[in-house]
Chain A
Amino acid sequence: MTLEQQLTKPLSLDRRIFSSFMSAIAVIFTGLALLPLLSVLFEILRQGLPNLKWEVFTNLPAPAGDTSVVGGFANAIQGTVLMVSIAALFSIPFGIAIAVYLSEIGKSGAIAQTVRFVLSILSAVPSIVVGVFAYAVIVLSTILGYRGFSALAGSFALAVIMLPIVVLSTEEALKLVPNHQRLASAALGANSMQTVFKIVLKAALPSITTGVLLAIARASGETAPLIFTALFSQSWVEQILNPTPSLSVMIYNYSSSAFPEQTQMAWTASLVLLGLVTITNLLSRLITRKR
């Protein structure tokens, strides 16, 4: 065989078959991976949209079996917002402070390395275990003369879940701030506190917001740590030491209900919850994309 023949010889049949076969498999598997997502979205829209009325956001759940009133889940929305807010109030400042330590002071020191490691471990602790922790710390102990399931216990669990997400994303955001800005600030005579608050945090604010939004989205959808810390209730949220409803626990409770209208309500609640989570996620993407 001459060199020219060798160079222009087509690939052997088995190599060509292998390549096209693998490409076909790749396409099929990728489609398979997307199938559940499309099915979830389709089913939630199909089942949830018809019942998405204004009353859903203003009314309490209708009594089981009573189809004469239009039930809603305003109290569950209220509970979710309340618990996520309390958790955010605690975990966001705390998380940002830790991130400032990691990126501005500790850097690659032993303490910072350990804290980073612990936070990555903490972010991987199953949320049900965090729920068990909150149950033992708050539900089983007496706080302010009250012992039992409460919004406070739910918020505590959510805060522990949010903390590592806030810290790790904020640290990434702070690392992106160019070092010469810090040097310029120091050269003008600012102390490290002024540099952090007036220069570094200000410059990183959009990316920090992204991380915070992701943490909020994650916490809003959490169910496992809430079913035995906040429990549930059919009425309005009155104070943080009472059992408190949430959207996610409501979906769980109604998912096995014998009443079709409760199942319908769960679909609508899924639509609202998924909308909430997805909008928050998209928002966080848009904020970082602009930069």
Chain B
Amino acid sequence: MTSIPSESKPTLDSIEGGNTAWVEFGFAWGLRILALSAIAILLWMGWIIFNAALPAIKTFGLGFVTRQEWDVNQLQFGAKTYLYGTIVTSAIALLFAVPIGVIVAIVTSEKFLPGWLRSILGFLIELIASIPSVIIGFWGIFVLIPFMKPIQSALHQQLSWIPLFGTETFGPSLLVAGTILAVMILPTIAAISRDVMLAIPQDLRTASLSLGATRWEMITTVLIPASLSGIIGAIMLALGRALGETMAVTMVIGNSDQISLSLLDPGNTIPSILANQFPEALDELHIGALMYLALILFALTLIINMIANSIVKKFGLKQ
């Protein structure tokens, strides 16, 4: 038995701890204010960009979205060309990356391969996500464009009656930009879909297999339907990335201000025009028009990410 030495007997004063209450209070409020300032940063960002875009918003109004001309000398600006390029390249990216990404997610979440191989595979796919996009773009110029040029020519020769392949290519094009975007968003789709699939209870799989389903029947009739909303969340997060991706697209899309039905023609996207023109923008209205484009991109990605986040959150996953 140990006894408490009498001299260390706690007094009321030392328990209440004089200034401790103030430390607690100040510490909590200090941190709370810092945390709230994170919200302030997002609002500040929206406000600053909106204000800088104001000259263009006043001049062109909402019609900016459907105006096509972009003439720096005449100070006539419209977003249509860039919106078109952004949407078309993102759509191509999803077309390629969704099936491949979902299958990679299946291969890495189900027991097709031994565990060590699955984790190496997962690591390699995630490695793609960590390559800086300027390097992917650089690779795009010197490897992907030469690789895709004969493919694009063949598409044109065989299928020129389809407007999508209606023109001869000279290398950089919407199709190449979409392909490079697919490479970049594939890890997002694969990683989040895999996490969603791993969150599906093992019992569901076992039950399906014990009823006599083959592994792929289990995957197509049980696993994919059960994780579908999560996969859609993953696709939307990837779409958010594709819309805002700048460097890789800018380097391979050809940066030509035209709206062409043909995917083999060069084009331009909102991030690309921002990257190309901001360093030289001088006139207030020109800067305003670029800011207006940035504001549209900001709003677009904000909405898509909010929806995606709320879907993915249901599975208890972090982004």
Contact = CB atoms under 8 A, between A and B. Distances in A.
A255 B251 CA distance: 8
A78 interface: no
A43 B319 contact: no
B190 to A, nearest CB: 7
B175 interface: no
B136 interface: yes
Contacts of B245: 126
Contact of B135 (A115, A128, A273): A273
A48 B285 CA distance: 43
Contacts of A189: 17
Contact of B216 (A22, A121, A123, A129): A22
Interface string B275-319: 100110000000100110010011001100110010000000011
A184 B52 CA distance: 53
B24, B51, B216: which has the most chain A beta carbons within 10 Å? B216
Contacts of B275: 128, 224, 227-228
Nearest to B183: A36
Given A124-B240, A127-B246, A97 B128 contact: no
A252 B137 CA distance: 8
Contacts of B125: 33-34, 37
B199 interface: no
A34 B49 contact: no
Contacts of A97: 31, 34-35
Given A36-B128, A274-B132, A160 B138 contact: no
B38 A167 contact: yes
Interface residues of A, number: 92
A228 B219 CA distance: 48
A165 to B, nearest CB: 10
Given A37-B128, A105-B31, A126-B246, A30 B135 contact: no
A33 B130 contact: no
A102 B35 contact: yes
Contact of B41 (A106, A122, A149, A224): A122
A19 B215 contact: yes
Interface stretch (B69-77, B99-107, B152-160, B162-170): B99-107
Contacts of B274: 128, 131-132
A44 B139 contact: yes
A220 B133 CA distance: 11
B261 to A, nearest CB: 27
A267 B23 CA distance: 54
B142 interface: yes
A255 B137 contact: yes
Contacts, number: 253
Contact of B134 (A100, A132, A248): A248
Contacts of B134: 221, 223, 248-249, 251-252, 255
Contacts of B240: 124
B34 A94 contact: yes
B186 A33 contact: yes
A278 interface: yes
Interface in A122-158: 122-133, 135-137, 140, 149
A213 B52 CA distance: 34
Contact of A125 (B45, B52, B100): B45
B263 interface: no
Contacts of B141: 255-256
Given A163-B38, A172-B318, A221-B134, A121 B48 contact: no
Interface string B245-287: 1110001000000000000000000010011001100000001
A101 B31 contact: yes
A257 B49 CA distance: 32
Nearest to A28: B103
A137 B31 CA distance: 25
B244 A129 contact: yes
B200 interface: no
25 contacts: A36-B183, A37-B127, A44-B135, A97-B34, A98-B35, A102-B35, A115-B38, A118-B42, A121-B42, A123-B319, A126-B243, A129-B301, A135-B278, A136-B48, A136-B49, A191-B17, A191-B20, A221-B131, A223-B246, A227-B275, A227-B279, A231-B279, A248-B132, A274-B135, A281-B127
Interface of B: 17, 20, 23-24, 27-28, 31-32, 34-36, 38-39, 41-42, 45, 48-49, 51-52, 99-101, 103-104, 106-107, 112, 121, 124-125, 127-128, 130-139, 141-144, 183, 186, 190, 214-217, 219-220, 237, 240-241, 243-247, 251, 271, 274-275, 278-279, 287, 290-291, 294, 297-298, 301-302, 305-306, 309, 318-319
- 8 smallest CB-CB distances across A and B, nearest first, come from A126-B244, A221-B132, A228-B278, A101-B31, A224-B246, A223-B134, A124-B305, A132-B294
Interface of A: 11, 15-16, 18-19, 22-23, 25-27, 29-30, 32-34, 36-37, 39-40, 43-44, 47, 94, 97-98, 100-102, 104-106, 111-112, 114-115, 117-133, 135-137, 140, 149, 160, 163, 167-168, 172, 189, 191-193, 196, 217-218, 220-224, 227-228, 231, 248-249, 251-252, 255-256, 263, 266-267, 270, 273-274, 277-278, 281
